[in-house]
């Protein structure tokens, strides 16, 4: 298990860290928790650091079908349940472990590994939905498309798997959602951040590749509503 620098400012909840360690161990030993007869294989390609990255990963179809059947809450104030539901932790931890293995092999440092995973999430194709249907992270990864809410939920969930504290940022006037991540960028001048519950969370734009932590598109000028993570299961809503 790799220990990352505390200067990145994150905390790892005990149960989530145990699940993450289990998934990483299984991945490194060549045993995929998703490599089952009902597996769904997806190939991802994205750019970061001047190079193209590729990853083929197999997800568990029964897990995907489970999340597809869950009821939805359409209240944006409750969207934290989609990013923080722990029932997909093993699936997401395995994926994060696979991406981090690519990063270790390439010799990336802790900050670069963080941004590699951010760029992976940003590369999921953006789509505009007719109606509102918030996706769980596993749905977005398999369906390989996302609107701003789906992209934010996915990015927040992956960063949580890395141990970072995250919040969702709901820009009601602009009908947009983004992510706040509790991390201190190397350069903070001109960066956008928000405070919540005693922490400083820097803006992260999840809908297109290239946006760095702290960079916010000018068109999102209103004050967002902070949507915190919650352990309440969406199926009980």
| Confidence check: pLDDT of 151 > 80 | yes
198-213 residue pLDDT tens: 999 999 999 999 999 9
Task: Taking residues 187-192, report their average pLDDT.
Answer: 89
Calpha distance 116→121 (Å, rounded): 9
Domains of the chain: 6-236 (3.10.620)
- pLDDT of amino acid 18: 46
The number of beta carbons lying within 10 Å of the beta carbon of residue 55 is 15
Task: Taking residues 217-228, report their average pLDDT.
Answer: 96
Residues 221, 178 contacting (CB under 8 angstroms): no
| Confidence check: pLDDT of 33 > 60 | no
Calpha distance 115→192 (Å, rounded): 17
**Reported pTM:** 0.84
83-138 residue pLDDT tens: 999 999 999 999 999 999 999 999 999 999 999 999 999 999 999 877 789 999 99
Calpha distance 229→231 (Å, rounded): 7
């Amino acid at each position: 298990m790799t220990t990352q620098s505390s200067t990145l400012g994150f905390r790892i909840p005990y149960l989530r860290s145990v699940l993450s360690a289990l998934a990483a161990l299984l991945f490194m030993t060549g045993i995929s928790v998703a490599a089952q007869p009902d597996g769904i294989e997806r190939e991802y390609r994205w750019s970061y650091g001047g190079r193209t990255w590729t990853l083929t990963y197999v997800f568990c179809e029964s897990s995907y079908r489970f999340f597809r059947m869950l009821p939805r809450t359409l209240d944006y104030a409750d969207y934290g349940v989609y990013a923080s539901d722990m029932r997909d932790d093993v699936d997401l931890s395995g994926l994060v472990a696979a991406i981090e293995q690519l990063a270790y092999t390439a010799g990336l440092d802790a900050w670069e590994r963080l941004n590699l995973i951010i760029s992976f999430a940003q590369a999921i194709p953006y789509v505009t939905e007719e109606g509102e249907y918030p996706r769980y992270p596993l749905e977005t990864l398999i369906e390989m498309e996302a609107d701003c809410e789906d992209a934010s939920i996915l990015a927040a969930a992956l960063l949580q798997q890395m141990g970072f504290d995250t919040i969702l940022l709901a820009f009601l006037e602009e009908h947009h959602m983004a992510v706040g991540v509790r991390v201190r960028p190397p350069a903070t001048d001109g960066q956008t951040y928000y405070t919540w519950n005693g922490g400083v969370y820097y803006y992260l734009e999840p809908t297109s590749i290239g946006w760095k932590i702290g960079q916010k598109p000018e068109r999102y000028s209103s004050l967002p509503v902070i949507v915190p993570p919650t352990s309440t299961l969406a199926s009980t809503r």
